[in-house]
Amino acid sequence: QVQLVESGGGSVQAGGSLTLSCVASGSTYKNVCMGWFRQAPGKGREGIAAIDDDGRESYADSVKGRFTTIKDKAKNTQYLQMNSLKPEDTAMYYCAGAPCPNYGGSWWRDRRFFNWWGRGTQVTVSP
């Protein structure tokens, strides 16, 4: 089993930046895909970014150009760099992981694809 632990959340003003980290431990797998989801109060969990084992990145339109996900295999850590934050980015942020699929498409948007989840870290953006 794989354990994921997020950190780096906090409160910032609009226009500010935060970097979230997600450290993986436990069982090791080859060819792992990692994703980031967020859930605002009263809303569903939204897939916003992902990176596959070859470093290919995917982003939701809502964060494209502002957020960047990076995977550091040596440290078993995934990062989500968030710039130009907006109040609508306020949510609980979760990292997730799973063995990469053998198909393309928007697997990263589907929370059912991911096997491993962190407990989340809160991001609050004030106007």
Is 23 in contact with 119 (CB distance < 8 Å)? no
- Tell me the three state secondary structure of residue 38: strand
pLDDT of the residue at 29:
77
Instruction: Please give the chain's pLDDT, 127 residues, in tens.
Output: 899 999 999 999 999 999 999 999 887 777 899 999 999 999 999 999 999 988 999 999 999 999 999 999 889 999 999 999 999 999 999 999 999 988 778 899 999 999 999 999 999 999 9
CA pseudo-torsion sign 105, 33, 44, 123: negative
Is 3 in contact with 24 (CB distance < 8 Å)? yes
Question: Pairing state of beta strands 10-13 and 18-26?
Answer: unpaired
To the nearest 10°, report the CA torsion of 89, 64, 102, 100: -50
Whole-angstrom Cα distance, residue 61 to residue 78? 20
102 backbone dihedrals φ, ψ, rounded to 5°:
-100, 30
pLDDT of the residue at 105:
82
